[in-house]
Chain A
Amino acid sequence: ETGVTQSPTHLIKTRGQQVTLRCSSQSGHNTVSWYQQALGQGPQFIFQYYREEENGRGNFPPRFSGLQFPNYSSELNVNALELDDSALYLCASSLGLGDTPLHFGNGTRLTVT
């Protein structure tokens, strides 16, 4: 059983640039959720994709966008990067049903300078 993998592990970008983060979901999982975790805080829900469609969004501006592919892997894109976007970005896959728990990747650490 393949776990959730995220790439890259670390990334440094300049304010105003664009970034794409990638997530491969666990085998058989059709739902991917993305989170932003700032230092000292819990993960904040960005959005969720289910079978290639956005299935809910947290309180994040439109410059945060995503995609899910037919193999259920997913991308998080952030345009016009701001300093406050510096954070750990986590993705988690699941079956998207009821209370089945999440399977997380190790995260991508994004630093915006």
Chain B
Amino acid sequence: ILNVEQSPQSLHVQEGDSTNFTCSFPSSNFYALHWYRWETAKSPEALFVMTLNGDEKKKGRISATLNTKEGYSYLYIKGSQPEDSATYLCAFQPPNTNAGKSTFGDGTTLTVKP
């Protein structure tokens, strides 16, 4: 059983604050790490696919880094806005599989207060 952990479980910040959260995964047998954003009453939406150690990806105010040797990825949100309120899921994909067989963390729920 693969252990994928996300911390913190929930986070409340004020509009304009920058924030970050963590996804920890097995450092051996790595293929890819996926980040998804899941807004209330919507479907999870893919944010990033990260495959290389040291990868850094960015989409607007959201960025993510990857350290496969120590088994973690950080997601950063700069200048949080209320529309960033969502649950952020990471999913660990081992080799010789596809994304559908990834193991998901339990998510970090972010609430941004205006």
Partner of B100, one of A33, A40, A41, A106: A33
Contact A105 B99 (CB under 8 A): no
Q: Across the two chains, which residue of chain A brings its CB closest to B89?
A: A42
Contact B46 A101 (CB under 8 A): yes
Contact B44 A100 (CB under 8 A): no
> Contacts A31-B98, A96-B100, A97-B98 given: A42-B105 contact, CB under 8 Å?
yes
Contact B99 A101 (CB under 8 A): yes
CB under 8 Å from chain B, chain A span 57-113: 90, 92, 94, 96-107
> Contacts A94-B98, A94-B99 given: A105-B105 contact, CB under 8 Å?
no
CB under 8 Å from chain A, chain B span 51-103: 51, 89, 91, 93, 97-103
Q: Does B106 make an interface contact (CB < 8 A)? A: yes
What is the distance, in angstroms, from A61's C-beta to the closest C-beta of chain B?
17
Q: How many A-B residue pairs have CB under 8 A?
A: 77
Contact B101 A56 (CB under 8 A): yes
Contact B106 A33 (CB under 8 A): no
> Contacts A48-B101, A90-B44 given: A101-B49 contact, CB under 8 Å?
yes
Contact A99 B43 (CB under 8 A): no
CB neighbours (8 Å) of A97 from chain B are 98
What is the distance, in angstroms, from B45's C-beta to the closest C-beta of chain A?
8
CB neighbours (8 Å) of A104 from chain B are 36, 43-45
Q: How far is the CA of A104 from the CA of B41 in the complex (A)?
A: 12
CB neighbours (8 Å) of B98 from chain A are 31, 48, 94, 96-100
Q: List 29 A-B contacts (CB under 8 A).
A: A4-B43, A33-B101, A41-B106, A42-B6, A42-B89, A42-B104, A42-B106, A43-B44, A45-B100, A45-B101, A45-B103, A48-B100, A48-B101, A56-B97, A56-B100, A56-B101, A90-B44, A92-B100, A98-B99, A99-B51, A100-B98, A101-B46, A101-B99, A102-B36, A102-B44, A104-B43, A104-B45, A105-B43, A106-B42
Chain A residues proximal to chain B, CB less than 8 Å: 3-4, 31-33, 35, 40-45, 48, 56, 90, 92, 94, 96-107
